[in-house]
Amino acid sequence: MRMNLNKKRGDGTMSLSDVPVGFEAKIISVPDDDVGSRLLSIGFVPGNSVKVISCAPLGDPRVYMVMGKMVTLRNDEAKRIQVSMEDEIEQLSNVTEGSWRVIHLVGGRNFRDKLRSMGIDIGSTVKVISKGVVETNRGVFRIGLGMARRIYLRRDDV
């Protein structure tokens, strides 16, 4: 499953289909057409919060919680809903230099084990030295773009 936060627009919005599982976003806009009318009628109203609950094994469809209801949408519908993240996160592939906290990993057991061997796990802090190069408590490592896109971070305020 790929979640591409690269699609964040210049105004800070992104499509609902790009929000990682477990995170919440605020609905900014829905399309002004028949699909948009249906989305509005089931609770996808600008200003409401929506949480991504789960997704199918291949990533489509996904389950959302909106207005206290569980709603399943296909990604082609969710892509048309513009949201802003209530919890500012970035992919490792997009971050600038500095200290970042790992908040989400998208991958299976082998992926997580490989990252743990480098000192990267949920809750750990990494120092981004340059594009694709991070320092952890276990040393300095080069992380490829494919892996970096599956590591979600929040700026560490410490």
Tens of pLDDT, residue by residue over 29-61, are 999 999 889 999 999 999 999 999 998 888 789
Mean pLDDT of 123-141: 94
97 pLDDT above the threshold of 80: yes
Task: Report if pTM > 0.85.
Answer: no
Q: Parallel, antiparallel, or unpaired for β 62-66 and 69-73?
A: antiparallel
- The SS3 of residue 22 is coil
Mean pLDDT of the chain: 87
Q: Position of tokens 């919440």?
A: 24
Distance CA 5, CA 89 (A): 9
- In total, how many domains does the chain have? 2
Same domain, 78 and 100: no
Same domain, 101 and 150: yes
Same domain, 111 and 53: no
Residues with Cβ within 8 Å of 142's Cβ and at least 6 positions away in sequence, in order, are: 132, 133
φ, ψ (nearest 5 deg) of residue 151: -115, 120
Same domain, 105 and 55: no
Which amino acid, residue 63? V
Same domain, 80 and 97: no
Residue 97 sits in which domain range? 90-155
Same domain, 42 and 98: no
Helices (H) and strands (E) in the chain, counts: 4, 12
> Which of 85, 100, 124 is the last residue in one of the domains?
85
Same domain, 15 and 44: yes
